A and B are shown apart, each in its own frame.
Chain A
Amino acid sequence: MKIISNPSLEKLTDSDLRTIYDSLPDGFIITDLETGFVLEANQTACMMHGYTCQEFIGLHITSLIEPGSMNLFYEKIDYFKSKQVFNPRLQHLCHDHSVIFVEWHGVPIQYNNRDCMLSIIRNVTNRIQDENILRQHILELSYLEQSKLLEISHTLASALEFNPGLILDQIHEIIDYTHAGLFTLVDSSLVTLAMRGNPKLEKLGQIRVRVKGSETLSILFNGHRPIIIADIWADDPQAEFLRTLLDDGAAKLLTGMKSWMWIPLAVKNRIIGGVGMANKEETYFTLHHADIALSVANQAAITMVNMELYDQAKKLAIYEERQRLARNLHDAVNQSLFSAGLIAEVLPRLWEQDQAEARESIKDLLHLTRGAQAEMRSLLAELRPSTLTDSDLRDLLILLGNAYTGRTNIPVTVTAVEDILLPSEVQVAFYRICQEALFNVAKHARAKHVDIFLQQDGEKIELCVRDDGIGFFYEDSIAKKSGHYGLTMMNEHADSVGAKLVITSQPGAGSEMTLSWIPPQNGDIQ
């Protein structure tokens, strides 16, 4: 076989060549292109497939190809015939029916005057298995990262309180920093909201980093991209910038550290802080780290801004509640007292003028002062919600009735059973809805008398507010949403505690509101 043309090898005998071929780590096959039979093979090729050389030589080449790879094999053979190149990776079937991965490198040769292919074949099964394991591993890692990121985003999205420490803890599960700090920008200073990784640093309390000038700020913002510093002690401008920035008190953040990563926290191109991470190894942080950290940081930034808004909303809610109480004070108590004051002032003169009228006015005075007192008590009850939940519902309804009479001079009869036990939120709902119902009656009904009933029928608790006023078409009032905002509120409030609200009315026939509540059956019983 004169296949090697290197002159120095010319002297080798066929037997020498045979020994060399057999000891090659790669398999070696000569296949007849016309018949497809294996004409020659080295020891490695035979052993690779679990055959002896006597068995292997003479096999049809297709009997070595795993059926799944057959199409590819024929395709590549056709290609070989025109382009003289054959280098597929095929799955081979061994003598014991096991499957191996084999890479081919085939070239055309003439062998015993026949058109043949000389092929070097290499068993790459182990490599492919390793690759698969590696790929799987990478996949798992990225799953882990993704699930961690998802977890962080859940934490950020669900927590009402922004917890910067928790964010750093969660980042640590993906990025192994030595220490890290989450900073917020307050009056041209970066101030730590949380510090992790080094107990000494954590104990330091707030670390402040002065940010001098808008230029420094824009370097820190860095076009909303992370900054990675491979070696913070190096001579490059970024490292110098960091060392200058972290002077004095903040310099201890650099002690013992080598590499650094800074992630700007920004919302709408406005920097609001950042996450700084340090590692004691050089060039620790990668672009991949930066990507992960940035996606966490972006969510954290939004949460931080939301927190600000939430705080503002809370303040606004407190303000609105205060406004509401002030309005109630004005609407009810102040009006009653003004009227009582006037009457009291003119009463002596009225007495001299007309004693019968004066007596009527004394009754008014009594109503007014009692009403104002009841009004005050119910306002105080609202200021201290425990009064609403701790008092007997009957007493609360009597309070509402008195306050109503005091304000409107319309008598209210409260017929209520005592000692009805309701969950506190249900009791508050009953109180509020009754209050709202009375308010509506006062505003629209022109009633002469109002009845409030509270009764218990088995497990069902029922509250009924009935007036003898002008009534209305309930359907119309629902359609006219704006004018009956109160009805919507009552419905929503009833729904929220699982109570049922029914309002019935006819023009000219008064109106009736029934609120009923039955303890839920599936809850505590089992």
Chain B
Amino acid sequence: MTNLSLNRIRVMIVDDHTMVRRGLATFLKIFPDLELAGEADSGESAIQLCDEIVPDVVLMDLILPEMDGVTAIRTIHLKHPTIKFLALTSFKEAKLIKDSLDAGAIGYLIKTVTADELSQAIRSAHNGQATLSQEVTQVLVRTANHPSKQGSDLTERERQVLALMIEGLNNTQIAGKLKVSPSTIKSHVSNILSKLRVASRTEAVTLALRNNIIS
């Protein structure tokens, strides 16, 4: 707490829960280098308020009615690249974390964070340094170590079909091999594509070979 009074960090709070905003406002009161610049209860009002007050740091809840926090971060970030965003949420899904960071958040904190940790994260954000909650780091590392368990939800039959696709057989040939109608195979193939989240047979086969989906 070196730079007192004059250069206080102006913090804006975005959360749809009144009591959470109250708690955060109370929290800000005890740190002389932080001040409450404004409060918003939705993504839309956050965008508006940022235009008006241009805070230094925004504490952004991600799950908001109508416009969500990620969209709000992305929108404001484009307009005001100097504003720093700290996502403050109780969700730690890998996708949500990635989306927030992609949108421009410099930190991601879980709502188990203590007052001192939070104040430190605000200061870091203001200085352009990232802060991630311990749990968030774990989620990111885990996702990086296990890129995808794609294909784990394939049924036995779909595996058989995929194996024959790898051999280069077309639907009619696969149908002949498995003694079922080509339309049945067609529906298996479309299930396989959707489960592997790919758009074509070639992609499915490539993915299957690369990730050893069919042993």
Residues on A lying within 8 angstroms of B by beta carbon are 214-215, 217-218, 268-270, 330-331, 334-336, 338-343, 345-346, 349-350, 353-354, 357, 361, 364, 367-368, 371, 406-410, 443
Contacts and interface: CB of A to CB of B under 8 A. Distances in A.
Please give me the 10 A-B residue pairs with the lowest Cβ-Cβ distance, nearest first: A339-B23, A338-B111, A345-B115, A349-B30, A342-B23, A346-B30, A335-B17, A342-B27, A408-B18, A339-B20
B19 A371 contact: yes
A343 B18 contact: no
Interface stretch (B68-76, B129-137, B164-172, B177-185): B177-185
Interface in B14-31: 16-20, 22-24, 26-27, 29-30
Most chain B CB within 10 A, of A334, A340, A343, is at A343
A214 B178 contact: yes
Most chain B CB within 10 A, of A218, A334, A336, A346, is at A346
Given A269-B180, A269-B181, A443-B65, A353 B30 contact: yes
A368 B24 contact: no
A268 B17 CA distance: 52
A330 B111 CA distance: 10
B18 A350 contact: no
Contacts of A270: 180, 184
Given A269-B180, A270-B180, 14 more contacts: A269-B181, A338-B90, A339-B17, A341-B114, A342-B27, A342-B115, A343-B22, A345-B114, A345-B115, A346-B29, A346-B30, A350-B26, A407-B19, A443-B65
A337 B197 CA distance: 39
A346 B22 contact: no
A263 B184 CA distance: 22
B112 interface: yes
Contact of B27 (A343, A353, A409): A343
Interface string B133-163: 0000000000000000000000000000000
A357 B29 contact: yes
Contacts of B91: 330
A217 B180 CA distance: 11
Nearest to B15: A335
Contact of B22 (A214, A330, A350, A364): A364
A407 B18 contact: yes
B137 to A, nearest CB: 20
Given A214-B178, A346-B115, A409 B19 contact: yes
13 contacts: A269-B184, A335-B17, A335-B90, A338-B20, A338-B112, A345-B114, A346-B26, A346-B29, A346-B30, A350-B26, A408-B17, A409-B18, A443-B65
A364 B26 contact: yes
Interface in B160-215: 178-181, 184
Contact of A408 (B19, B118, B178, B184): B19
Contact of A368 (B23, B30, B184): B23
Contacts of B27: 342-343, 345-346
B26 A343 contact: yes
A330 B90 contact: yes
Contacts of B18: 407-410
B24 A342 contact: yes
Main secondary structure of the interface of A (DSSP, over half): helix
Contacts of A218: 179
Contacts of B65: 443
Contact of A335 (B30, B111, B114, B115): B111
Contacts of A350: 26, 29-30
A454 to B, nearest CB: 25
Interface residues of B, number: 26
Contacts of A330: 90-91
A335 B20 contact: yes
Nearest to A446: B41
Given A268-B184, A342-B115, A361 B26 contact: yes
A342 B65 CA distance: 24
Most chain B CB within 10 A, of A330, A335, A407, is at A335
Contacts of B112: 338
B25 to A, nearest CB: 10
Contacts of B178: 214
B26 A342 contact: yes
Contacts of A268: 184
B48 to A, nearest CB: 16
A336 B184 CA distance: 52
A502 B52 CA distance: 40
Nearest to B88: A338
Nearest to A271: B180
A393 B154 CA distance: 49
Nearest to B61: A335
Contact of B17 (A340, A345, A357, A407): A407
Contacts of A345: 27, 114-116
Contacts of B179: 214-215, 217-218
Contacts of A215: 179
Contacts of B17: 331, 335-336, 339, 407-408
A364 B24 contact: no
B184 A409 contact: no
Most chain B CB within 10 A, of A218, A334, A371, is at A334
A407 to B, nearest CB: 6
A371 B111 CA distance: 18
A236 B118 CA distance: 84
Contacts of B111: 334-335, 338
Contacts of B118: 342
Contacts of A406: 19
B87 to A, nearest CB: 14
Given A340-B23, A368-B19, A371-B19, A334 B90 contact: yes
Contacts of A367: 19
Contacts of B19: 335-336, 339, 364, 367-368, 371, 406-409
A379 B142 CA distance: 32
Contacts of A409: 18-19, 22
B157 to A, nearest CB: 10
A296 B30 CA distance: 77
Contacts of B180: 269-270
Contact of B24 (A214, A339, A408): A339
Interface string B48-89: 000000000000000001000000000000000000000000
Nearest to B156: A187
Nearest to B16: A443
Contacts of B181: 269
Contacts of A368: 19, 23
